[in-house]
Amino acid sequence: MKEGGQDYGTEKNCSSKPTKGEDSCAAWAKDVKECEEKYGLNRDYGLSTEEVEKKPAIFGWNALDDHEGPSIWRLILDQFNDTLVRILLCAAVVSFVLAWYDGQEGGEMEITAFVEPLVIFLILIVNACVGV
């Protein structure tokens, strides 16, 4: 099998007999004369306007299939699969818990204790958005 997993157009595939209604190999792997015969083409004159209008109905448009890629949220969440990012997330959570616990124990919670974990969270969020 070739790189990418396709095995189209190899000698083994092109020499095998096609099943009913199926071609033996891809058009790009065939000889030019074979393609001219199969698709009713003429290299010297090209296609007439009438033929150009008929061919898409027979063979389809010359375009790649559209496929849906991953959503923007999936791409952003995938940014958090890095080990260093997970370590920073854990550090931010621990820092937040310690700030919360220290504020409850002392009787007064100061907002400055939460600055460090919030900054870490914000940096990770910005990093994820920029990494997409």
DSSP letter, residue 110: -
Tally of helices (H runs) and strands (E runs) in the chain: 6, 0
Q: Backbone phi, then psi, for 9, in 5-degree steps?
A: 80, 5
Query: Residue 95: its pLDDT value, please?
Result: 92
Domain positions in the chain are 11-59, 72-131
pLDDT tens, residue by residue, 91-113: 999 999 998 888 776 666 788 88
Give the C-alpha separation, 104 to 120, whole Å: 22
Q: Is residue 12 scored above 50 in pLDDT?
A: no
**Helix axes 83-106 and 115-131, enclosed angle (nearest 10):** 160
pLDDT tens, residue by residue, 16-69: 555 555 566 777 888 888 888 888 888 888 888 888 888 888 888 888 878 888
Give the C-alpha separation, 94 to 87, whole Å: 11
